[in-house]
Structure 1
Amino acid sequence: MLDVPVSIAAALVGGLADALDPVAGGMATALAIVVFTAMVRLLMLPLAVAAARGERTRRRLMPQVQKLQKKHAKDPQRLRREMAALYESEGASPVAGCLPMFVQMPFFMVMYRLFVSATVAGHQNLLLAHTLLAAPLGQNWIGVVGGGLLSPPSLVFLGLFTLLAAVALWSSRRVTAEGPMGAVARLMPFGTIAVAAFVPLAAGLHLLTSGAWTAAERAILQRKAITAAA
């Protein structure tokens, strides 16, 4: 099912790597993955703006939501109807903020498949031979740590984990939700570190770029929202 998207991604990443080779040299393919991910996130910008708008609406409606929860605590079906009617009257959705995350998943899977597939469109996958410094882009940390925790390939992954942790910490501190959902939202960004240990380095670079984009995007949109409110 992902064969066609993987072929398209291979052509785009390969083409970007060829274009970047004169200036990036051996890091051209890694940089191409970063550029490819940024291009995807740029196309998703309208969804992010809509999600930010929906999040502001949900915060504004929270007092009314809490009143409904208290009023219909013993009637879950009535509560769902009243909640749906409230959000519909405001033209909002309680799950709108999750849409960008769901849309990102197929692109992550495509990047994952691209760097675990020996062949793409019936041809040898030459991207698997490319590296970032000493680490193969098609290898994961579990596969290289056997050569030593401080071996050059492992150090590349440890650097990636450090950057992912920094982005996760930044994102976690900017979560405004309270209660159990807020706690989950604060922990979720750190999950990328665990995922990055088991997926190819290329997919880890995709996670890092996408996570950094999300952090910057939210900071900018929140600042604009505060400015507009003032």
Structure 2
Amino acid sequence: MLLTLIVRVLLLPVAVAQVRAEGARRRLAPALAEIRRRWKGDPPRLQQKTMELYREAGVSPVAGIGSALLQAPIVSLVYALFIAQRIGGEPNALLAEALLGVPLGRPLGAAALAGEGGALLLAGAVVALLIAAGLVTRAMMRRLQPALPAEQPGLPPGVMRTLGWLPLITAPIALVVPLAAALYLVTTTLWTLAERPLLRRLLWGEAERNPS
């Protein structure tokens, strides 16, 4: 969890850039709506005009996913550390550590099924936190971006919809990865849940909050 906090502090500049870009996209919402109305019958022209608008405004149409992509190698490293039986030729001492009687290298789901220590309580808490945070995050995304298109130029169809469900997908994942990786997922999810509204409050003006 401390590693997670360090990583998220280091990623703060990325988060600030993402929130600024997200606000810029919201300012473009009225212009995007007009482009969709005018060119809805001509998909190639619609995409061309949309990309031109983004380019002229200096805005990335895929802003908002950089932080998750940058964290992926960290999650992979945590996962690798807690499934390796040996590190540098020596027994992996990390595997001896435990939380509520559950080894950090043990998947929560397997530990809960085996009735190990407080695994059932821990699994319930982790899943409940991730689902609650995912539902709140999804609700915030839907409230903040009602005027933006479900599809974004430059991305395959359905990607934006998938990203909308991403906060909820972490719940089942947390049950099959080592407990250490599950703790990373919980901590980073809760950090994001608190970080984004705060940055929006600090960085957005009236044009971003209420695009007209």
Q: TM-score, normalised by structure 2?
A: 0.82
CA shift, 1:147, in A, is: 2.2
Gaps in structure 2 of 5+ consecutive residues: 152-159, 208-212
1:211 paired with 2:189, answer yes
Structure-2 separation of matches of 1:183 and 1:88: 23
Q: Which residue of the partner structure matches residue 85 of structure 2?
A: 118
- Percent of counterpart pairs with the same letter? 35
Conservation of the 8 A alpha-carbon contact between 1:164 and 1:192: yes
Partner of 1:38: 5
Q: 1:177 aligns with which of 138, 142, 145?
A: 145
Greater RCO structure (CA 8 Å; 6+ sep): 2
- Deviation, structure 1 residue 112: 1.0
What is the aligned residue count? 195
- With the length of structure 1 as denominator, give the TM-score of the two structures: 0.76
Structure 1 residue 106 corresponds to structure 2 residue 84:
no
Aligned to 1:159: 125
Q: What residue is the counterpart of 1:5 in the other structure?
A: none
Structure-1 residue corresponding to 2:109: 142
Listed as ranges, the matches of 1:1-230 within 5 Å are 34-148=1-115, 152-175=118-141, 176-178=144-146, 187-226=165-204, 228-229=205-206
Distance across 1 between alignment mates of 2:64 and 2:165:
17
8 A Cα contact 2:174 2:181, kept in partner: yes
**Which segment is superposed worse, 153-162 or 207-216?**
153-162
Report the equivalent of 1:26: none
- The separation in 1 between residues aligned to 2:117 and 2:150, in whole angstroms, is 40
Larger fraction in helix: 1
State the distance in 1 between where 2:93 and 2:38 align: 62
Structure 1 residue runs without a partner (length 5+): 1-33
The one-character-per-residue Cα deviations of 1:171-207 (angstroms, maximum 9, x if unpaired) are: 2332222375787555331211111011111000000
Q: Structure 2: which amino acid aligns with 1:126?
A: A
Q: CA-atom RMSD, angstroms?
A: 2.2
Shift of 1:151: 5.4
